[in-house]
């Protein structure tokens, strides 16, 4: 009896030490948690490249070449992208601040008499929209959007050393994860009290969702943003690069997507007297959106990731609010963890809970 009590005390003491050390380790790593998660996601995407190189050369050299490829694909385009985005976003902000947008809209409304027609239909509802109110609202929106994007781009540009440092940290993590990632996963699985197949299922779901977000949504957003920006440029609309970036980000969101930009642009063209161009914009938006969402994305992602459209929408919106731009990745990953654990519960543990519930029923 005494040996059992002594053994329990030792176990509880060990658990207390383990939890304290885990907490302290978490505090040490917390400032870099975003970099670590992003590195893990990027590693899963470039793992096939590393595996291909590793068949011919050593693991360390394969990992180094993979990191060099990541640097060329991610870092250099990002610096180029930030410079152009900063310039065009600041231009949009100045247009909104200087009432340039307002004057353009005022001329369009006066030429098309569209506002009089709208007010005619709103008369039974005792509503009336003035050109001044509409101009002010649209100009303010342009100023807010332009200033926000300019601040985001300028933050990276002004802290380029900090950005480079974090990118270097990410590459360093990726370098070791490519070589030792499988060992780390095995260690986590062995440490977890859950059965091995449940741990593997949870990890696989994370990999599938990360691939769906970065490969499916990422390439889909790149295609829609690039093509949309080119169309804006061909039709002479201002800041095509800026609107292409906005469309690329909006493409991650189901339900609304790039229509938030294309539909107002089509209305603008129609009000400007360019009816054919406006109709083309609407048709082109439908073709581009449907083809990417229903043909390209399913082929890239496959049927591995199943999540309701509305749930994906709120996951990304909530992720953006909590984590910033990286919330596009983190939001769906958090939701995936919950859904996977729910599935594991229904499959393995619900039957264990139901008998205890029945015992409580008189």
For the residues of 314-339, what is the DSSP string, one character each?
Answer: HHHHHHHHHHGGGHHHHHHHHHHHHH
Reference 212, options 48, 346, 331; nearest CA is: 331
Tokens of 173: 């993590």
CA separation for the pair 58, 179 (Å, rounded): 10
pLDDT at residue number 63: 93
Distance from C-alpha of 327 to C-alpha of 334, rounded to nearest angstrom: 10
pTM for this entry: 0.67
| 202, two tokens | 């949870």
Half-sphere exposure of 157 (CA within 13 A, CB side): 14
* Cα atoms in the 13 Å half-sphere on the side-chain side of 173: 21
Tokens of 73: 């694909």
Angle, vertex CA 247, rays to CA 306 and CA 219, nearest 5: 50
Instruction: Report the C-alpha gap between 99 and 143 in whole angstroms.
Output: 9
306 phi and psi angles, rounded to 5 deg: -120, 115
Position 100 scores a pLDDT of 45
Q: Which among 223, 171, 165 has a CA at the least distance from the CA of 42?
A: 171
Burial state string for 283-304 with b = 16 or more CB within 10 A and e = fewer than 16 = eebeebbeebbeeebeebbeee
Residues 325-356 as b or e (16 or more Cβ within 10 Å = b): ebbbbbbbbbbbeebbbeebeeeeeeeeeeee
Q: Are 48 and 178 in contact (CB under 8 A)?
A: no
Distance CA 237, CA 261 (A): 12
Q: Where are the alpha helices (DSSP H) in 128-239?
A: 131-158, 160-191, 196-211, 218-234
Q: What pLDDT, on the 0 to 100 scale, is given for residue 262?
A: 84
Question: How far is the CA of 209 from the CAs of 39, 163, 236, 305, in angstroms?
Answer: 15, 26, 38, 6
pLDDT of res. 2: 54
What span, in angstroms and rounded, lies between the C-alpha atoms of 133 and 122?
16
Query: From first to last of its 362 residues, what are the pLDDT tens digits of the chain?
Result: 556 667 677 878 888 888 899 899 889 988 888 888 888 888 888 888 999 999 889 999 999 999 999 888 877 777 766 666 666 665 555 555 554 444 555 555 555 555 566 666 666 766 665 555 555 555 555 555 555 555 555 555 555 566 677 888 889 999 999 999 888 888 888 877 778 888 888 887 877 777 777 777 778 888 888 898 899 888 888 778 778 887 887 788 777 788 878 887 887 777 777 788 888 988 888 888 888 877 777 666 655 566 777 888 888 888 877 877 777 778 888 888 888 888 888 877 766 655 555 555 45
Number of C-beta neighbours around residue 21 at 10 A: 10
């Amino acid at each position: 009896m005494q040996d059992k009590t002594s053994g329990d005390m030792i176990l509880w003491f060990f658990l207390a030490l383990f939890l304290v050390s885990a907490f302290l380790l978490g505090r040490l790593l917390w400032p870099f948690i975003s970099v670590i998660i992003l590195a893990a996601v990027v590693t899963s995407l470039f793992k096939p490249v590393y595996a291909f190189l590793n068949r011919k050369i050593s693991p360390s050299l394969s990992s180094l070449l993979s990191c060099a490829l990541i640097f060329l694909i991610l870092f250099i385009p990002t610096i180029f992208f930030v410079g152009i985005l900063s310039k065009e976003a600041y231009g949009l902000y100045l247009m909104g601040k200087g009432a340039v947008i307002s004057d353009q809209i005022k001329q369009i409304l006066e030429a098309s008499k569209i506002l009089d027609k709208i007010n005619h239909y709103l008369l039974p509802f005792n509503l009336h929209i003035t050109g001044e109110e509409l101009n002010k609202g649209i100009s303010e929106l342009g100023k807010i959007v332009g200033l926000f994007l300019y601040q985001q781009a300028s933050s990276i540009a002004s802290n380029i050393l900090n950005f480079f440092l974090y990118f270097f940290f990410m590459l360093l993590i990726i370098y070791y994860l490519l070589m030792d990632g499988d060992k780390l996963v095995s260690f986590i699985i062995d440490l977890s009290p859950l059965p091995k197949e449940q741990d593997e299922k949870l990890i696989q779901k994370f990999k599938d969702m990360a691939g769906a977000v970065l490969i499916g949504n990422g390439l889909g957003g790149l295609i829609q943003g690039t093509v949309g920006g080119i169309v804006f440029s061909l039709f002479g609309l201002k800041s095509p690069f800026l609107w292409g970036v906005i469309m690329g980000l909006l493409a991650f969101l189901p339900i609304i997507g790039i229509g938030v930009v294309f539909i107002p642009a089509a209305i603008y063209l129609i009000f400007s007297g360019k009816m054919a161009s406006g109709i083309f914009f609407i048709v082109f938006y439908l073709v581009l959106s449907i083809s990417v969402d229903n043909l390209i994305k399913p082929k890239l992602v496959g049927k591995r990731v199943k999540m309701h459209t509305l749930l994906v929408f709120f996951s990304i919106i909530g992720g953006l609010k909590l984590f910033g731009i990286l919330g596009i990745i983190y939001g769906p990953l958090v939701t995936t963890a919950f859904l996977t654990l729910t599935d594991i519960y229904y499959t393995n543990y619900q039957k264990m809970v139901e008998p205890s519930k029945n015992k409580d029923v008189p």
